[in-house]
């Protein structure tokens, strides 16, 4: 028996966060939030920036997220 949609999404979100840290050295978090009208929670990424982050840091983050998304979609 496979994972339900919510469990599969949680696993995929957790894998993404782990790979961002391990492969790119970027720490982000995932969370589960209830959405009105949805039977299961959604799993957004939580990205926190601070005054010491530069536009280059943000560009690197976005590039890494796009690259890893492509890798995971092709897996």
* pTM confidence score: 0.80
- For the chain, the domains span 5-74
pLDDT-derived band at 75 (thresholds 50, 70, 90) equals low
What pLDDT was estimated at residue 8? 80
Q: Is 30 helix (H, G, I), strand (E, B) or coil?
A: strand
pLDDT-derived band at 1 (thresholds 50, 70, 90) equals very low
User: In this model, does residue 35 exceed pLDDT 80?
Assistant: yes
Residue 23 is inside which H or E element, if any? Answer: helix 5-24
Contact criterion met (CB below 8 Å) for 43 and 13: yes
DSSP code string of 48-71: ---TT--HHHHHHHHHHHHHHHHH
């Amino acid at each position: 028996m496979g994972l339900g949609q919510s469990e599969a999404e949680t696993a995929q979100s957790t894998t993404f966060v782990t790979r961002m840290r391990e492969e790119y050295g970027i720490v982000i978090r995932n969370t589960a939030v209830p959405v009105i009208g949805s039977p299961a929670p959604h799993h957004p990424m939580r990205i926190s920036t601070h005054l010491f982050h530069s536009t280059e840091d943000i560009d690197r983050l976005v590039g890494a997220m796009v690259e890893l998304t492509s890798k995971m979609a092709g897996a």
